[in-house]
Amino acid sequence: MPRIQGKMTNETNDMSERILELKRRLEKNLAKREKLMKAWPTTAVRLYDKDLPNFPYLIDYFTSVRDRYALIQFKGKKRFPDDDDKEKEIVTLLETWLEIPAKHIHLKERRPQGPENQYKKLDNEGSSIFIEEGRALFRLNLTDYMDTGLFLDHRPLRKWIGKDCEAFVKKEGKTPKFLNLFCYTASVSVMAALAGASTVNLDLSSTYLDWAQGNFELNEISLKKHQFIKAPIQEMDEHIRGSFDFIYLDPPTFSNSKRTSDFDIQEDHLKLILQMKKYLSPKGVLWFSCNRRDFVLDPKVGEHFHIQNKSHDSIPEDFTDEKIHQCYRLLLKD
């Protein structure tokens, strides 16, 4: 993995005081991220997470053998007249200090998700980068979609699921069965497969299912033990049979697909979680995650499952937003 080497220049005459403050913060963060990237290991981290009030931005940082990339996302409640200038200053700083080529620095404005404002394709550049996480490789797209193909904040969860599957193989001496619903690009399934699991992956998007299969092929995983099913969650009974040792359920906050009825995570999660009982083996594990900031887990879940709230521990150290997601490990009650 390449060592992160930012140029610590002393020439500050051309920098505004506010950008100097940002530079000092990035220098501090960079030292920590270098250790994190080596420890996991990973080549994708959050370098900056709205640390300073004057800069309500997220900056994700990616490295490869030859290149560096950055994704900047505005996260303020509203834009102000000087925000365009701030963004130019951030880009210039990343170019001159971290030596990231301008063509590798991308800016996006993340909008609140809702039924009337779901994330859609933004561009058609089709450019891909490849990052490492543990022993896995993933393809990311920094330009064409609001999300890149990999949720960096789920890094610990992917590791835990891989460890779960490894422990199962060691203890039971057989292949664990893993079900991934709303699978997106199936990065979690890749981790499970690398640990010895067979997987079933369900999503409504052909684009993401193709991407998911590409991630498997990128990791030289044969597709013989893995299924990729295009279907809404409401039709899973028509496509999925048998029980699973591990289920990963990471629904969207909202969904209003033309093919399905409207879905709201707060209103519908109890029904969805209880539906998993018919698919979960008696000693199986259901991992449930969501990113609705004001989400409250229905107490009735506890009537059917032992609940382990893993939310705090599941947020990686390069993230400061404690509400970025919630995460629960659910075990069936006898």
Q: 131 lies in a domain?
A: no
- Whether residue 64 is found in the same domain as residue 157: no
Q: What is the CATH number of the domain that holds 313?
A: 3.40.50.150
The total of structural domains in the chain comes to 2
The C-alpha torsion from 262 through 213 and 170 to 38, rounded to 10°, is -100
Q: 95 lies in a domain?
A: yes
- Whether residue 105 is found in the same domain as residue 200: no
- Whether residue 235 is found in the same domain as residue 171: yes
Range of the domain at 22: 17-110
CA atoms within 13 A on the CB side of 222: 3
From 82, 110, 138, the end of a domain falls on 110
Q: 215 lies in a domain?
A: yes
Task: Judge contact between 117 and 249, C-beta under 8 A.
Answer: no
What pLDDT shows up at residue 3? Answer: 42
What pLDDT shows up at residue 109? Answer: 79
Q: 145 lies in a domain?
A: no
Blockwise average pLDDT, block size 10, the chain, 334 residues: 44 70 96 97 98 95 92 92 92 95 90 48 72 97 93 98 98 98 98 98 97 98 98 94 97 73 90 97 98 97 98 98 97 95
- Whether residue 77 is found in the same domain as residue 161: no
DSSP states along 259-297: TS--EEHHHHHHHHHHHGGGTEEEEEEEEEEE--TT---
Q: 102 lies in a domain?
A: yes
From 78, 110, 142, the end of a domain falls on 110
Q: 5 lies in a domain?
A: no
What pLDDT shows up at residue 11? Answer: 43
- Whether residue 196 is found in the same domain as residue 314: yes
Q: 138 lies in a domain?
A: no
- Whether residue 198 is found in the same domain as residue 282: yes
- Whether residue 91 is found in the same domain as residue 167: no
Q: Alpha carbon 66 to chain centroid distance? A: 24
- Whether residue 102 is found in the same domain as residue 230: no
- Whether residue 177 is found in the same domain as residue 98: no
From 79, 110, 141, the end of a domain falls on 110
What pLDDT shows up at residue 258? Answer: 57
DSSP states along 83-147: HHHHHHHHHHHHHHHS---GGGEEEEEPPPP-TTS-----------EEEEETTEEEEE-SSSSSS
- H, E, C per residue of 137-166: EEEECCCCCCCCCCCHHHHHHHHHHHHHHH
- Whether residue 62 is found in the same domain as residue 194: no
What pLDDT shows up at residue 90? Answer: 96
- Whether residue 157 is found in the same domain as residue 106: no
Please report the sign of the dihedral spanned by the C-alpha atoms of residue 94, residue 145, residue 201, residue 138: negative
What pLDDT shows up at residue 122? Answer: 56
- Whether residue 156 is found in the same domain as residue 235: yes
Q: 125 lies in a domain?
A: no
What pLDDT shows up at residue 65? Answer: 76
